[in-house]
């Protein structure tokens, strides 16, 4: 796989090998920037590309100089759990990327349910100021809201806060760092106001609850969008057969079906049996048998191709009619289908120029937001409340507290700084371009169009000529009637064969012309 040379320049005199790593824990383009920086700083690595949607890092390094496990351990130590991708199956040794994403989606939905319940209870507390009933005063109690905020931080917000702290500890702050700082600042300030009422500060325990609830809602919607975006690529992976029927040469005369083994264990030269309706497990050559094989997933041709002894077959194509015995010629990553999947997967890591710009900006985005939030606090605390003193008046309408003062420049400054922290999110900046590239390249691969990367896809709009290199004639694959020649009485026939076909149907007579 060839990577674009933006991260580092690969000289032709250095033998290069490619490593693939499954990287989890990335939340935004800022995380991608941190992972790429740590990879390129590792001794022996000459280039690295990371994709946020597929959670894949493709690393080019000097041959024999980099240990994939040690490289994965380095990323794990900075808060991004990483495993080398298996060279045979294309999957990790524990869970496949699809299974891992499904598990994360379930956990995310559970956290969202808990956060939503806490938000509803917090909202009921505010309604208690308007209605009076036997239970509403309990929901309006300030200690009740303290309990809600504490539960929100310990249950649905726990993983978010820990991830943000890890990023800050490793000098790689991310979006979770911003949200964590905002919610913890609001919670700690409210706790000080609660336990030291003589200060006259306002309690706003509802802010951590609301912030975490809406952040988790956004994360859940974002996760679903990412899963839909990767569905086309996962359907391409689904074309790869999982098992093969291994037979011995002496079994040719028998009717045995062979032994089912994982496709990854098939070796070159071994003989396999393929029954009707099964996919060809590996690239091979037909030894015994004759059958029609559907190769539309590879060539786009709708008509099946007759295969008999001596003909080559391709992994992933569908055996339709007869029983075939084939000899494996290419297995694992050497098969045609595996190379197509590898090409599409590598295309996800090749960044378009606009994505490189977005990732560069997102890499410094978190630091910029922290600086702006600090300046916001200082401005309003030192100057803003003195220039516009009337902005302090609405603060007296907070939760019921025995000693709330109508003026508190510190709390107003904190609230505005918290707002800057939590509303600034680089996720959309870093997700838009890779999502578009993933969908475009994956759908193209399903239709037989291989796109080498986002940089190539971005230049397509400049094309004015498309040249097709294909044997035969390009058609839509559906015959149509161009002329109608009437012979004798057929022109006025009234039999059922002469009746016009029903609209929106596919006439069997038309397709048999």
List active site positions: 469
| R_g over Cα of the chain | 31
Cα separation values, 98 from 133, 235, 436, 504, Å: 50, 11, 19, 38
Q: How many helices (H) and strands (E) does the chain have?
A: 17, 13
Indicate the helix (H) or strand (E) that contains 319.
Answer: strand 318-319
Report strand pairing: 16-23 vs 56-62: antiparallel
Secondary structure of residue 245 in the 3-state scheme: strand
Residue 148's contacts (CB-CB under 8 Å, 6 or more residues apart) are 118, 121, 122, 125, 205, 206, 209
Q: How far apart are CA 400 and CA 415, in angstroms?
A: 18
State how far the Cα of 20 lies from the Cα of 415, in Å rounded to an integer. Answer: 44
3-class DSSP string for 355-412:
HHHHHHHHHHHHHHHHHHHHHHHHHHHHHHHHHCHHHHHHHHHCCCCCCCCCCCHHHH
Report d(CA 97, CA 82) in Å as an integer: 12
The residue whose two tokens read 């036997």 is 134
Residues 6 or more apart whose CB falls under 8 angstroms from that of 404 comprise 200, 201, 202, 396, 398
The DSSP code sequence of 216-236 is: HHHHHHHHHHHHHHTHHHHHH
Structure tokens at 447: 């239709």
d(CA 127, CA 130): 5
Identify the CA nearest to 85 among candidates 73, 97, 100. Answer: 97
| CB burial of residue 298 (10 Å; 0-12, 13-18, 19+) | middle
Rounded to 5 degrees, φ, ψ at 75 are -65, -40
250: left (phi over 0), alpha (psi -120 to 50) or beta: alpha
| Neighbouring C-alpha atoms within 13 Å toward the C-beta of 73 | 5
User: What is the DSSP track for 52-77?
Assistant: TTTTEEEEEEETTT--HHHHHHHHHH
């Amino acid at each position: 796989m060839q990577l674009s040379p933006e991260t580092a320049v690969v000289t032709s005199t250095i033998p290069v090998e490619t490593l693939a790593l499954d990287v989890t824990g990335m939340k935004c383009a800022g995380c991608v920037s941190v992972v790429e920086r740590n990879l390129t700083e590792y001794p022996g690595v000459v280039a690295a590309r990371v994709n946020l949607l597929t959670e894949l890092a493709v690393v080019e390094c000097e041959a024999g100089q980099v240990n994939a496990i040690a490289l994965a351990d380095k990323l794990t130590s900075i808060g991004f759990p990483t495993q080398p991708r298996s060279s045979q199956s294309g999957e990790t040794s524990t869970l496949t990327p699809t299974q891992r994403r499904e598990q994360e989606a379930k956990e995310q939905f559970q956290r969202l349910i808990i956060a939503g319940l806490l938000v509803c209870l917090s909202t009921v507390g505010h309604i208690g100021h308007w209605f009076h009933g036997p239970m509403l005063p309990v929901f309006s109690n300030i200690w009740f809201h303290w309990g809600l905020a504490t539960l929100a931080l310990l249950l649905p917000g726990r993983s978010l806060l820990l991830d943000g702290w890890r990023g800050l500890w490793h000098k790689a702050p991310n979006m979770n760092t911003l949200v964590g700082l905002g919610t913890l600042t609001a919670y700690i300030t409210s706790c000080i106001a609660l336990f030291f009422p003589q200060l006259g500060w306002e309690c706003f325990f509802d802010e951590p609850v609301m912030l975490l609830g809406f952040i988790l809602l956004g994360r859940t919607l974002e996760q679903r969008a990412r899963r839909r975006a990767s569905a086309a690529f996962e359907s391409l992976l689904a074309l790869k057969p999982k098992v093969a029927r291994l037979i011995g040469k002496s079994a040719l005369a028998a009717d045995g079906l062979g032994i089912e083994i994982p496709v990854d264990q098939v070796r070159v030269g071994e003989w396999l049996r393929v029954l009707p309706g099964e996919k060809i497990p590996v690239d091979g050559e037909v030894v015994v048998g004759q059958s029609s094989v559907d190769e539309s997933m590879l060539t786009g041709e709708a008509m099946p191709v007759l295969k008999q002894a001596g003909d080559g077959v391709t992994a992933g194509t569908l055996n339709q009619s007869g029983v075939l015995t084939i000899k494996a010629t290419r297995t694992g990553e050497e098969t045609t289908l595996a190379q197509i999947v590898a090409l599409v997967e590598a295309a996800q890591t090749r960044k378009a120029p606009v994505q490189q710009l977005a990732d560069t900006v997102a890499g410094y985005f978190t630091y910029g937001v922290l600086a702006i939030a600090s300046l916001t606090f200082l401005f309003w605390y030192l100057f803003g409340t003195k220039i516009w003193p009337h902005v302090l008046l609405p603060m007296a309408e907070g939760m019921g507290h025995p000693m709330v003062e109508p003026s508190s420049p510190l709390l107003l400054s904190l609230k505005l700084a918290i707002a800057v922290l939590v509303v600034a999110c680089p996720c959309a900046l870093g997700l838009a371009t890779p999502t578009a590239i993933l969908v475009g390249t994956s759908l193209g691969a399903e239709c037989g169009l291989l796109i080498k990367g986002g940089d190539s896809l971005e230049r397509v709009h400049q094309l004015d000529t498309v040249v097709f290199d294909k044997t035969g004639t390009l058609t839509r694959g559906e015959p149509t009637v161009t002329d109608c020649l009437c012979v004798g009485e057929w022109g006025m026939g009234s039999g059922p064969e002469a009746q016009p076909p029903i609209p929106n149907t596919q006439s069997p007579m038309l397709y048999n012309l």
